[in-house]
Amino acid sequence: MTPEELTRLRELERAATASPWSTDDHVVRPGDSPGQWHIYESGEDDPPLFSSGLGTKEDAAFIAAARNALPGLLDELERLWKLAEERTRDQ
């Protein structure tokens, strides 16, 4: 990953609806079709951010988990890059 890609991911993350996101085990809502899944901003009491009958509930769980993990992953990547730069500079 390049610094530019990291910057772009950070921009996308900051522009997206804040985490945590969650999924449901297909809470039936008016207008739902079989196999429809939902992703929520905070809980199933809120309207879903996304609903789809495409993909699987595992896809929805991955999307929500990736959204929740991304800020920490980007922070860790930046920390490791800084550490590598310091070690390179000290040699």
Specify the pLDDT at position 22.
86
Three-state secondary structure readout of 48-72: CCEEECCCCHHHHHHHHHHHHHHHH
Q: What is the DSSP letter of 24?
A: -
- Asked if 35 and 3 count as a contact pair (C-beta separation under 8 A), the reply is no
Mean pLDDT value across residues 60-86: 93
What is the tens place of the pLDDT at every residue in 9-58? 999 999 998 888 888 765 555 566 667 777 888 766 677 788 777 777 78
Specify the pLDDT at position 32.
65
Mean pLDDT value across residues 56-69: 87
Tokens 């590598």 belong to residue: 84
Tokens coding 85: 């730069």
Give the separation between CA 19 and CA 43, rounded to whole angstroms. Answer: 11
